[in-house]
Amino acid sequence: MTDKQNSSCRITPVKKLLLSVPLRVKILGLAMGLILTLSLVTIFLVRQELNRSINAALREEATLVAGELSHQARDLLLINDIFALNSLLKNMQNNRPDIRYIFVHDSRQHVLAHTFGSLFPIELLLRQQPFPGDEPGPITRQIATSEGLIWDSHAEIFPGGNIYIRVGVKGDNLRRQLSTLTGALVNTTAIVAAIGIALSLFLSWLIAKPVTQLLAATREIRRGNYDFSLPREADDEIGKLIEGFGDMARSLAQAEKIRQEKEKLQKEFLQRLMAGQEGERKHIARELHDQTGQALASCMVELKLLEQAAGSEALQQGIARLKKSITSELESLHALAMDLRPSVLDDLGLIPALEMYISRFQKRHRIKIKLRLLGPLEERIDACVETCIYRIIQESLTNMSKYAEASEAALFLERKQETIRGGIEDNGIGFDPEAIDPTKSMGLYGMRERIELLGGKFSISSDREIGTMISFELPIKPEVCHEKN
């Protein structure tokens, strides 16, 4: 693998998670993320700006009131009307709800008038002291009190000092309005977010729907089904993709149809070839048995008569030798006819033919074969199935005798409803089925072909320690059969 390929294979867990999330969730997540970020940033900025404006307004109000009252209070102090001074301060507080307190004091911290009722909070006097160099006009600062932050404005009533007025503005009212506004903003954001979710749901559905349809179509193609409809609703890139995919599916369907037709023709051809081969074998075996065999048998009868009539011993010995060689020829002829195609397979069926073959095989190769038959096997089945099973067992046992070095083998056949199963097992040296070259070894390949042509299943398992097991399963009535019983 190249470095480039390696780096593309290195996917972080987060990226892996993101890539595994469905498209719909991705679009929805993106839209939600954007809406929420935008809303939170907007609320934060609006609140910050409003807070700044409120603070500026409160500061201005405190400064303004302190300046205005310092003038009005001066006149009242000149005539020493403390009662009127108190009324002035109270009226001002009543008219402006943001004002928390107003009081007038002298340089010895003696409070002359205030708006606190009976108890004056002494610590307020310590909070904001005039200091040298301050301008005579109101000085406004924010101070921390037990009630929270207050804009406190401090002004001289008489130029040069001695008597001062202080005004505290808290702005609870404005802050309440800010909270109400924030609440309204949050509500609006929630509504906008809900509309955004609905829109992004619709959008994600719109985008993901054709993609999901494409995905379903690929699954159908994988299953070998090309008969599906992919409606092209949009004219965008996805619409073009769907159109391209549809064209591709149609070409694939066409190619698949041609392939299936070719395969069908090949199967048909092979079946006819095999049936023809079996017919030919049958014919030759019958010819050998009926013509050549009969001719040799009548030679034997003639020889027997000659033997009886012959006078000289030399003639009798010659005739005996001839009889011996004709007997041996007759046996080989019989064996050849049997190997080609035993007539018992056509006349009596699979099981008698197999029993005869196994008995001859055991005698010829001195290998013990256990035969186990299950189910109603005595009933005749389609000729092509009988031939197929016979040939598979014949090839398996021939292979075993040639390569397995086995001391014994077992063969079983079972008929169950509409199928027939079988297996040939030996205790030989085994082999590696994967390593077999079908261009060189036709036996195993031919077995599989014969079985698959009839719609059956075939398997080989072989182990150097245990031996070889060949199994098959065939339908009793295959779809096509070119042989006749």
Q: Residue 15: in which H helix or E strand, if any?
A: helix 13-20
The option from Mg ion, ligand ATP, none interacting with 204 (CB < 5 to 8 A, set by class) reads none
Tokens (6 digits) for 36: 């929420």
In the three-class reduction of DSSP (H, G, I as helix; E, B as strand; rest coil), residue 381 is classed as coil
Which member of 381, 404, 454, 474 binds ligand ATP (CB under 6 A)? 404
Contact call for residues 409 and 369 (beta carbons, < 8 A): yes
Return the range that interacts with Mg ion (CB under 5 A); candidates 53-61, 85-93, 297-305, 396-404: 396-404
Smallest gap from residue 459 Cβ to Mg ion (A): 17
Which member of 195, 199, 258, 442 binds ligand ATP (CB under 6 A)? 442
Q: Which is nearer to Mg ion, 265 or 442 (CB)?
A: 442
Which member of 225, 441, 459, 485 binds ligand ATP (CB under 6 A)? 441
Q: How many helices, marked H, and strands, marked E, lie in the chain?
A: 13, 10
443 binds ligand ATP (CB under 6 A): yes
Which member of 130, 443, 446, 475 binds Mg ion (CB under 5 A)? 443
Helix/strand/coil percent split, the chain, to 5? 60, 15, 25
Q: What is the distance between the alpha carbons of residues 373 and 371, in angstroms, rounded to a whole number?
A: 7
Return the range that interacts with ligand ATP (CB under 6 A); candidates 354-362, 415-423, 424-432, 473-481: 424-432
CA distances from 93 to 101, 102, 167 (A): 7, 8, 9
Return the range that interacts with ligand ATP (CB under 6 A); candidates 94-102, 248-256, 428-436, 471-479: 428-436
67 binds Mg ion (CB under 5 A): no
The option from Mg ion, ligand ATP, none interacting with 468 (CB < 5 to 8 A, set by class) reads ligand ATP
428 binds ligand ATP (CB under 6 A): yes
400 binds ligand ATP (CB under 6 A): yes
Smallest gap from residue 366 Cβ to ligand ATP (A): 16
446 binds Mg ion (CB under 5 A): no
Smallest gap from residue 468 Cβ to ligand ATP (A): 4
Tokens (6 digits) for 45: 């900025």
Q: Which is nearer to ligand ATP, 157 or 444 (CB)?
A: 444
Contact call for residues 323 and 300 (beta carbons, < 8 A): yes
Smallest gap from residue 22 Cβ to Mg ion (A): 55
The option from ligand ATP, Mg ion, none interacting with 428 (CB < 5 to 8 A, set by class) reads ligand ATP
Look at the block and give the residue holding tokens 């000092």: 161
Q: Please, which of residues 21-50 interact with Mg ion by CB under 5 A?
A: none
Smallest gap from residue 357 Cβ to ligand ATP (A): 17
E-only strand ranges, 170-297: none
Q: What are the DSSP calls for 148-173, one per residue?
A: EEEEEEEEESSTTSSEEEEEEE--HH
Q: What is the distance between the alpha carbons of residues 473 and 185, in angstroms, rounded to a whole number?
A: 75
Q: Which is nearer to ligand ATP, 216 or 442 (CB)?
A: 442
Smallest gap from residue 467 Cβ to ligand ATP (A): 7
**What pairs with residue 424 in β-bridges?**
411, 470
436 binds ligand ATP (CB under 6 A): yes
Q: What is the distance between the alpha carbons of residues 413 and 372, in angstroms, rounded to a whole number?
A: 6
121 binds Mg ion (CB under 5 A): no
**Residue 406 carries which DSSP code?**
-
Q: What is the distance between the alpha carbons of residues 452 and 392, in angstroms, rounded to a whole number?
A: 12
Smallest gap from residue 442 Cβ to Mg ion (A): 7
277 binds ligand ATP (CB under 6 A): no
Which member of 70, 271, 399, 401 binds Mg ion (CB under 5 A)? 399
Please give the size of the binding site for Mg ion, defined by CB under 5 A.
Answer: 2
Q: What is the distance between the alpha carbons of residues 283 and 292, in angstroms, rounded to a whole number?
A: 13
In the three-class reduction of DSSP (H, G, I as helix; E, B as strand; rest coil), residue 411 is classed as strand
Smallest gap from residue 395 Cβ to Mg ion (A): 6
Indicate the Cα dihedral angle 395, 396, 402, 406, nearest 10°. -160
Contact call for residues 41 and 49 (beta carbons, < 8 A): no
- φ, ψ dihedrals at 182, nearest 5°: -60, -45
**What pairs with residue 167 in β-bridges?**
102, 153
For 144, other C-beta atoms within 10 Å of its C-beta total: 9
Smallest gap from residue 470 Cβ to Mg ion (A): 11
Tokens (6 digits) for 364: 């010829």
431 binds ligand ATP (CB under 6 A): yes
Tokens (6 digits) for 181: 């506004």
Residues in the chain: 485
The option from ligand ATP, Mg ion, none interacting with 305 (CB < 5 to 8 A, set by class) reads none
Look at the block and give the residue holding tokens 């002298």: 106
Q: Which is nearer to Mg ion, 226 or 403 (CB)?
A: 403
Q: Which is nearer to Mg ion, 178 or 436 (CB)?
A: 436
The option from ligand ATP, Mg ion, none interacting with 103 (CB < 5 to 8 A, set by class) reads none
Smallest gap from residue 367 Cβ to ligand ATP (A): 11
Q: Please, which of residues 136-175 interact with ligand ATP by CB under 6 A?
A: none
Binding site for ligand ATP (CB under 6 A): 399-400, 403-404, 426, 428-431, 436, 441-444, 468
* Residues at the site binding Mg ion, with contacts judged by CB under 5 A: 399, 443
